[in-house]
Amino acid sequence: MPSQTDQSPWQTAALLIARLIFAAMFLMGVAFKFMDMGATAGYIAAAGFPVPLFLAWCAAILEALLVIAFLTGAFLTPAALVGSIYVTFLGFAFHGPSHWASNQAEFGAFMSHFPFAAGLLFAAVHGPGQVLSLNRGWPGRA
């Protein structure tokens, strides 16, 4: 398997574009949360979770940290792993099987979380690339 120092220009570009896409996706999510934290809390409450405003703020902070990680490349592997778990959780919690009976479109929303999670796992394995990246990894590793 080639190391990051052996990347071709197209591989470097692909990694950078992927990071920017992930950052944009999480940035949209965090922007909507900050524009109306009350609506986000209401959505969380409607799903049956306790302390919805607290959870809405936790989600916004997590998403903001993920945006920073994808834009800088710092700690990209752990961030992508956390992001993958988070996206999978969101799929089940807000669009899972209990929602399908009342709205068939929820199945599509549920399924859309899995390619996103798979892409995040792929990013975790391949790292941030060499361009516009701080290349920080797990604590104690470069």
Q: Over the chain (142 residues), what is each successive 10-residue block's mean pLDDT?
A: 64 90 97 97 96 98 97 93 97 90 87 95 87 58 44
d(Cα 97, Cα 64) in Å, to the nearest integer?
Answer: 29
Query: Left, alpha or beta for 122 (phi > 0: left; psi -120 to 50: alpha)?
Result: alpha
d(Cα 93, Cα 86) in Å, to the nearest integer?
Answer: 10
Cβ count near 97 (within 10 Å): 10
On whether the CB atoms of residues 100 and 107 are closer than 8 A, the answer is yes
**Residue 126 pLDDT:** 86
d(Cα 18, Cα 129) in Å, to the nearest integer?
Answer: 10
**Residue 131 pLDDT:** 66
Residue with tokens 């990051």: 4
d(Cα 54, Cα 100) in Å, to the nearest integer?
Answer: 27
What is the reported pTM? 0.85
On whether the CB atoms of residues 74 and 60 are closer than 8 A, the answer is no
**Residue 5 pLDDT:** 57
3-state secondary structure of 53: helix
**Residue 142 pLDDT:** 43
3-state secondary structure of 74: coil
**Residue 135 pLDDT:** 61
- Please, what is the end-to-end C-alpha distance for the chain in angstroms? 19
The residues, ordered by sequence, that sit 6+ positions from 12 with a Cβ below 8 Å of its Cβ are 129, 130, 131
